[in-house]
Amino acid sequence: MRVGTFIGVGVGPGPAGFVPVAALEALRRAAAIYVPRARSSASSVARQCLAGLDIPAAKLREIEFEMDRDRTVLRAHYAALARDIAADLRAGGDVAYLTIGDPMTFSTYGYTLAALRECLPAVEIRTFPGITSFAAAAAALGWPLGEGKERILVLPCPDDADSLRRDIESHDVVVLMKIGARLTWVMALLRELGIAGHCALAARIGLPGEVLFASLSDIDAAPQTGYLCTMLIRRQARERRHV
């Protein structure tokens, strides 16, 4: 009996239609499409990205996105999800899993993939890369991420200012993700370092409540802006290479 292929697809971040063209045929062929939804959200952002693509709603299986810090709870969540996916695959159909951004960059897809491989070791897997939040932020802001031999660091926001200070001082560009409620002290640090004017911030790109700041020198961002937020930090002002 044929076992289906597991297909990971990066969609978004942002408006409907941000789906890899190469993945469309696989999505239309899939028997089931798992669509994550954040527990705090009334709707799935990933599902919104499929609007207008002629994919039957009956294929979509919305699952609640688990963000619990308890690793035991997380293991149980992904093990249960893997069992459900494996059952669909054993039925012979391909199964797709949508994830916001790139599936292999700070994504729950990695946990799902690991759990599925334990549950179904011989499963065939195909992963379509997507647009990372920092690539989308850079495009929305017209903010080049790296030029020449600039050294770039991509990291989730540290819990203390001293750690972030060291990261900024040892790299040309820092991409800061998962900021959350730390935004207030992050902003204070950038001002203290005198670099806020050539740093940028994007939140909820392409979604209601979108926030785009090409410079952070004069903004007073509320802590809630830190959620679904990516910050682009440049240690020194951009060199005028075009002159």
- Which H, E and C letters describe 55-107, residue by residue? CCHHHEEEEEECCCCCHHHHHHHHHHHHHHHHHHHHCCCCEEEEEECCCCCCC
Segment 110-118 mean pLDDT: 95
- Residue 8 CA, distance from chain mean position: 13
114: left (phi over 0), alpha (psi -120 to 50) or beta: alpha
Question: Is residue 109 located within the same domain as residue 185?
Answer: no
Q: Which of 111, 128, 145 is the last residue of a domain?
A: 128
pLDDT value at residue 202: 93
- What's the rounded Cα separation, in Å, for the pair 35 and 19? 14
Report the domain count for the chain: 2
User: Is 68 a residue whose pLDDT tops 70?
Assistant: no
The pTM of the full predicted model, rounded to 2 decimals, is 0.87
- What's the rounded Cα separation, in Å, for the pair 40 and 37? 8
Nearest CA-CA partner of 116 in 93, 97, 92: 97
Would 243 be classed as within a structural domain? no
Helix, strand, coil fractions of the chain, as percent rounded to 5: 35, 20, 40
Q: Mutual orientation of helices 71-90 and 109-119 as an angle, nearest 10°?
A: 60
Segment 188-201 mean pLDDT: 96
Question: Is residue 62 located within the same domain as residue 155?
Answer: no
The dihedral through the CA atoms of 65, 70, 71, 73 has a sign that is negative
> Measured between alpha carbons, how far is residue 6 from residues 80, 82, 86, 164 in Å?
16, 11, 9, 38
By residue range, what is the domain housing residue 146?
Answer: 133-234
Q: Given pLDDT bands bounded at 50, 70 and 90, which one contains residue 222?
A: low
DSSP state at residue 226: G
Q: Given pLDDT bands bounded at 50, 70 and 90, which one contains residue 205?
A: confident
Tokens of 95: 């199964």
Q: Given pLDDT bands bounded at 50, 70 and 90, which one contains residue 118?
A: very high
Q: Given pLDDT bands bounded at 50, 70 and 90, which one contains residue 226?
A: low
pLDDT value at residue 48: 82
Q: Which of 112, 128, 144 is the last residue of a domain?
A: 128
Max CA pair span of the chain: 64
pLDDT value at residue 67: 64
Q: Which of 103, 128, 153 is the last residue of a domain?
A: 128
pLDDT value at residue 108: 87
DSSP state at residue 2: P
Segment 19-27 mean pLDDT: 93
> Measured between alpha carbons, how far is residue 21 from residues 48, 69, 80, 147, 178 in Å?
16, 35, 30, 28, 28
Residue 114 near residue 126, CB atoms below 8 Å: no
pLDDT value at residue 75: 87
Quick: pLDDT tens for 123-181. Answer: 999 999 999 999 999 999 999 998 889 999 999 999 999 999 999 999 999 999 999 88
The CATH number assigned to the domain holding 184 equals: 3.30.950.10
Neighbours of 236 (CB within 10 A): 10
The CATH number assigned to the domain holding 83 equals: 3.40.1010.10
pLDDT value at residue 2: 83
The torsion of the CA quartet 10, 14, 17, 19, rounded to 10 degrees, works out to -10
Would 242 be classed as within a structural domain? no
pLDDT value at residue 208: 82
Would 241 be classed as within a structural domain? no
User: Is 221 a residue whose pLDDT tops 80?
Assistant: no
Quick: pLDDT tens for 32-67. Answer: 999 988 766 666 778 888 888 889 999 999 988 766
